Each structure stands twice: as C-alpha cells, then as structure tokens.
Amino acid sequence: DPYGPADAERGRSITVLEALRLGRDRLDERLATQPELRAALLTAIGEVLENLDQAEEAIVTLNQAIALRTELGDTSSAELQRDLEVLGSAYLTMGEPDSARSLFERELRLARAQRPPDPVRLSAALTVNGMLRARADPVEALPFNVAAVDAARAVGGTTLAEALRKLADTYRSVGRLPESEAAAREALALFRQEEGDSTIRTGFALHTLGQTLAESRQFAEAGLLLDWSLAVLDRRLGRQNTLTVQMRSNLGVFHTIAGEFGRAETILREILDDQVERFGPQALSVGNSHQNLAANLVRQGRLDEADAEAARAQQIYAGGGAEGRQMVAFPLLTRAEIALTRRDYAAGLRLARQAAAALRRRVAVTHPGAIMADCRAGRAEAGLGHLPAAAVLLDSALQRLERLPSSSAQHVAECRDARAALPPG
C-alpha cells in the first residue's frame, strides 16, 4: 500500500510513497560525488513507484535517471534500456501511447545494436513493442512477439515465460486460439516452476490462460483460473491497483460471455464505482467501465440503460486525447447496435458512420471495429431501403470477417444474416 505506513513497527507515520519521495530528493545531496550510484538508485525508486501504480511519480524519477545516465555518457547500456522500458510503461498507464512508442522503439534499436547480443534485453524490447502495436492491430504485433520468444529461448526461465505469455495474448487477439493456449500453458508452467504459485507474474500467466480458455468456451477451467489469478493479484498488488482492476474487469467480461449476466453486472458496477472514486468521473478507465457495463446490459436486453452507459463512455473518450478518440468507436458501435434493434435506422447509420470515422487512419481495415462499423452501417442502409449501398457494405464486411481468424461467431452471424435478407447480386 503506497499510502500505508513505511515503518509501522517503529510507529512512524510517514507513508511508503512519502518515504520514496524523500529518498529520491536526498540523493542529490548525499550522493553528489557518486553519479553512477545515484542513477542506479533513481532507477530502483522509479521501478518501485511504477509497481505501486504511481505512474506520474515514476515518470519524474525515471526521467531523472535517464538524464543522469546521458550526462555520464551512457547511450546504450542494459540499465538505460530498462529505464526506457519502465518509463514507456508508465506513459502508457498515463494514457500517452505516443510517448511510450518513442521510448520503446529507442529501446529496441539499442537492444538490436548491442554486441554481443543480450537475449534478455532483446526479448524484453521486442515484447513491449509488440504489446504497444497490439493495441491498434494485433496482426502487426505478432512478428515482434514471435521474435521475442525466439530470442528468449536462449536463456529460458522467466524471460521466456514472459515472452510466451505476451505471445499467447497476441495469438488470442488474432483468433489463433490453439496456439494461444499452448503458449499460455507453457508460460504458466515456467512461472510456477521458477517463482511458485502466488507471485504477480504467475497471477498474470493464470489470467492469460484463463482468457484464452474463455474464448475457446472452456468456461469451467477458465473460471477457476481467472478467480485464482485475481486472488493472487489482489493479495500482491491490492484491489485498487490499475492492473488488478483491469483483471477484475476482464473477469466481468468473462461472466458476460459465459451468460452469467447478473454476476458480471455486479462486478462491473463495483469496478465503475471504484474507478470514479479513485480517478474521477472523466478518466479513460471510467469510460472503459461504462462501456463494459453497456455491453453487458445490451446482452440482457436492457437497452435504455445500455444506451445511457455507452453514451457516457462516448463522452469520456471524446475528451480523452488521441487514445480516447480511437476508443470512442466502441460505444458508438454499441449505440448503433441499440438503434438498429429499435429499428431507428437513421440513428444507426449516423452512429456507425461516426464509429468508422473514429477508426479511419488509426487502425487497419481488417480491425474488428472497422469491420463492424461497415456491417452496422450496411444494416442501417438496408433498413432505410438503400439496398445497393447496403449490399456493398455488407459484402465488404463479410469478406473481411471471414478472412479474419479472430472473428467472433456473433459478429459473423450478424453480418451474414443481414446480407441474406437482401436480394442476391
């Protein structure tokens, strides 16, 4: 707990976070003649701050470490590469993917140029670059993740386990579920062998395998793994940690997919309340919670409530910078689905077009969101009697969906049924 006492046994009231700040601020005066040690300690403090979910503090500290290393003439060390990676992760947490990308790409250039090669650093750099690309297009991320695993096999252990876990995530995102399951099981076995059953990284590996099994509709084992993962992460990171909240949100989505709507809704509403209390009503993470809840309510047929939640997510994303402007497509797609269910085809067309515009030039045309924007626009055109326009949109959407391994059966059925209702040709 960053806000808990740093030295409770001695009765000191200073918090962990205050102790870290104090330590950082004293380094300049106490280690003025030892810049290398000062840089190393700044790195250590920055990593702890990032692990404690204090991204802003971590950014300040790691930028100081990098500046000091640069002054010392360090332009390529493994320590500098690690600083770049953790700093990039902190920027991602703060919703600044462009800043993260420049740092991750710099890290990868340094790792590739290093002689002799360091497989640990190269694998880590490839992994984070793949992770960042997966946010927009998992297909683009896959070569990075495969290369990360190849590099990591030279050293094995947790380096290989982490690369495999990220590869499993990417395989799942592109619909290659058997490969995802194999990679996730290998990653989990390695983490349990190297670290045991209750570490943070084992918790993430449990979660990755659980998500893959859920998408494969192996719900019984998936549910056990996801619950186990959350118990580990709650204990290790705390319920309020950003990563723990994300895992709990994924558990809510799992219960929605499994048809356990009431249980899912309870989880998603708890997360929403927690996120509003912690970050305020306009945070992107709060928008995610509104959107996940909207998707759940649509599945329950509670359209008025779902539309209100999606509209709230849309409003938050619209004010959320570059990342939010892309994410706004998803509540727009949900609202388009609701409008089409109500046979309000004009509203459905307007919302689907807005979703397509939000994604244009930001994701590939094969991105599921871009495809479903065209599909729902096609359904709306059909409802308005514009049959040729509807056929063009639906044919295009279906062709892309059927070539995309990650297409959900629900989305394929939606577009196929809409096309089948049109005259042939």
pLDDT in tens, 56-70: 889 998 998 999 899
What three-state secondary structure class fits 262? helix
- DSSP label of 18: H
202 touches 188 (CB < 8 A): yes
Q: Looking at residue 5, what is its pLDDT?
A: 39
The three-point CA angle 141-144-149 to 5° equals: 125
- DSSP label of 324: H
Handedness of CA 402, 407, 409, 411 (dihedral sign): negative
The three-point CA angle 307-308-313 to 5° equals: 95
The one-digit pLDDT tens for each residue of the chain (425 residues) are: 443 434 444 444 457 677 777 777 777 666 767 878 888 888 888 888 887 878 888 999 899 899 989 988 988 888 989 999 999 989 988 878 889 999 999 999 999 998 898 999 999 999 999 988 887 778 889 999 999 999 999 999 999 999 999 999 999 888 788 999 999 999 999 999 999 999 999 999 999 999 999 988 899 999 999 999 999 999 998 887 878 888 888 899 899 888 899 999 999 999 999 889 888 999 888 999 999 999 999 999 999 999 999 999 999 999 877 667 888 999 999 999 999 999 999 999 999 999 999 988 777 788 889 999 999 999 999 999 999 999 999 999 999 988 776 557 788 899 999 999 998 86
Chain centroid to CA 17: how far?
Answer: 26
CA distance 323 to 85: 20
The CATH superfamily assigned to 1-114 is: Tetratricopeptide repeat domain (1.25.40.10)
Task: Give the class (CATH, top level) of 344-425.
Answer: mainly alpha
Q: Looking at residue 19, what is its pLDDT?
A: 75
Q: Looking at residue 278, what is its pLDDT?
A: 81
Q: Looking at residue 15, what is its pLDDT?
A: 72
Whether omega for the bond prior to residue 368 falls within 30 degrees of 0, making it cis, is: no
Q: Is 188 exposed, middle or buried (0-12, 13-18, 19+ CB in 10 A)?
A: buried
User: For 225-234, which contacts have Cβ atoms below 8 Å and span 24 or more sequence positions?
Assistant: 226/250, 226/251, 226/254, 227/251, 229/203, 229/204, 230/203, 232/197, 232/198, 232/199, 232/200, 232/202, 232/203, 232/206, 233/200, 233/203, 233/204, 233/207
Q: Looking at residue 367, what is its pLDDT?
A: 82
CA distance 271 to 265: 10
CA contacts within 13 A on the Cβ side of 369: 27
What three-state secondary structure class fits 402? helix
Q: Global pTM?
A: 0.72
CA distance 222 to 243: 19
* CATH architecture of residue range(s) 117-237: Alpha Horseshoe (1.25)
Closest CA to 339 of 350, 327, 328, 355: 350
What is the DSSP code string of 110-162?
HHHH-SS--HHHHHHHHHHHHHHHHTT-HHHHHHHHHHHHHHHTTT-HHHHHH
Closest CA to 40 of 75, 78, 76, 9: 78
- DSSP label of 239: T
Q: Looking at residue 103, what is its pLDDT?
A: 94
The answer to whether the 1-114 and 344-425 domains have the same CATH topology is yes
Tell me the β-bridge partners of 15: 5
282: which 2 tokens? 């306009």
CA distance 43 to 243: 21
Instruction: Enumerate the domain spans of the chain.
Output: 1-114, 117-237, 344-425
Contacts of 188 (CB under 8 A, 6+ apart): 161, 165, 202, 205, 206, 208, 209
